[in-house]
Structure 1
């Protein structure tokens, strides 16, 4: 059985919250621990936002419950009407995350049959202690940058493999289905990387490093174009003399594919191949014309594929 870091932080923050609430002799002290459990998140930013939203949510819940209990008394029916009012208003204000916690704290008013300043202060202290210890626990986050760099290397290896397999397809050594499966696998891995990059970004208080988020977004855009290129390959009739230039282009791109490659050399080679196709003898049949059109379309997609990386490299250097 493996116990993760978040589990450890949840357990410690909950225990400390309950200890402090008991030491202050607050009513319903265990509630502070439950609030801490519900407030430990995956990032510093989300933990802070959760705490702030829950305090706002408690303020809204207190106001609405005061009206309901004042008019109908401390009865279950009053609590039910409170929920009918509180839930839609909280949702409309973007405070959905605090609905459950605030509703539980409102039941304390119901049980005590009082909304004196003392009991209200008690509930705010419970909320503050719970979210406070959760926030303190989340101040420590392991550095995820090494994992992001590993993800980059894996993604580039997967791209290289896919480009090589595309050249193998033109040599009739692999099926389109295999290409599409590998392309979808690459897209899935990039999506996971994007989530990790987002968490990494949210764990920085002052300087928000957007490089990794931008990198994964760039690679995801490239995968979309790559998918179109694979579909174009399926429509190309393989004639060795016509596709040998594309095969060489794919192999060269695979060999030089890297994070630091700005793509300018590849773009120049694509342009050369495009010009060679333009100077070929004009097609004499409909089939030849359509095949030539697919070749040009593939090159155009290839150009877009490389331009996405070239534009990214330019933005980074600027």
Structure 2
């Protein structure tokens, strides 16, 4: 069970606690909503977290403006929420801010609960949003590096490549195919994709000093894999008399 307690689980639990505690400490209503916003702000990479935060911020501005407009004409009824969702969801899709749909809808239900809109209430909703997003993003700044894992994968890729080339050499000499040929090619492809996945994670987690050295390495190995695949087909037609 303890193997599942990775950094993301710990950050999610901490984000939930901190945002709810801070909301209570500063007297912000609907602290549970701030806690939920913080939880869903914990993403796989720093880049994803910042991108989704921006989406949610603009979605809330658009959505709350729309809901306030609708409620001023239709009143604070459940039918207003239904019409709001009917109009707001297509807008989120159109402007590519779908990640902010759920947060905005939850904030809109607060207006239904209050059945009134005031400056203090709007400020409170703003504090709820900012608190949840801030706690989530601050905790998400910690991301463990995958450099050791990537180095091990690089070594594994090169060893498989070496074995494949050695097998090709033997095949030309003795006109026979290695029994591990298919296994080695499948293993090479899977290992390259695994390394590329970890390299992408590291790249997305570097906000300022981005280095694509590892991505370039696995892109090069991808090209070499495709060349070897073509060579494999050609060698079937070669022989030495």
TM-score, normalised via structure 2 length: 0.90
Change (3 A) 1:173 1:67: same
Segments of structure 1 that go 5 or more residues without pairing to the other structure are 242-318
Which residue does the alignment assign to 1:156? Answer: 158
Bigger relative CO (Cα 8 Å, ≥ 6 apart) = 2
Segments of structure 2 that go 5 or more residues without pairing to the other structure are none
Structure possessing the higher radius of gyration over alpha carbons: 1
For 1:240 and 1:113, how far apart are their aligned partners in 2? 88
Change (3 A) 1:182 1:80: farther
Change (3 A) 1:179 1:117: farther
Which residue does the alignment assign to 1:100? Answer: 102
Which residue does the alignment assign to 2:196? Answer: 194
For 2:7 and 2:99, how far apart are their aligned partners in 1? 23
TM superposition shift of 1:81: 1.4
Cα contact 2:156–2:191 (8 A) shared by 1: no
Kindly indicate whether residue 123 of structure 2 is the aligned counterpart of residue 132 of structure 1: no
Kindly indicate whether residue 38 of structure 2 is the aligned counterpart of residue 36 of structure 1: yes
Which residue does the alignment assign to 1:86? Answer: 88
Cα contact 1:74–1:113 (8 A) shared by 2: yes
Which residue does the alignment assign to 1:267? Answer: none
Which residue does the alignment assign to 1:214? Answer: 216
Change (3 A) 1:84 1:169: farther
Which residue does the alignment assign to 1:46? Answer: 48
Which residue does the alignment assign to 2:74? Answer: 72
Change (3 A) 1:68 1:232: farther
For 1:174 and 1:160, how far apart are their aligned partners in 2? 14
Deviations 1:44-74 (A, max 9, x none): 2222222222111111111121222222222
SS of residue paired to 2:158: helix
Indicate which of 203, 206, 229 corresponds to 2:205.
203
For 1:83 and 1:61, how far apart are their aligned partners in 2? 9
TM superposition shift of 1:21: 0.7
Kindly indicate whether residue 18 of structure 2 is the aligned counterpart of residue 16 of structure 1: yes
Cα contact 1:180–1:227 (8 A) shared by 2: no
Deviations 1:168-226 (A, max 9, x none): 44431425xx5344323322222222121112112222221111111111111221222
How many residue pairs match? The answer is 237
Which residue does the alignment assign to 2:57? Answer: 55
TM-score, normalised via structure 1 length: 0.70
SS of residue paired to 1:105: helix
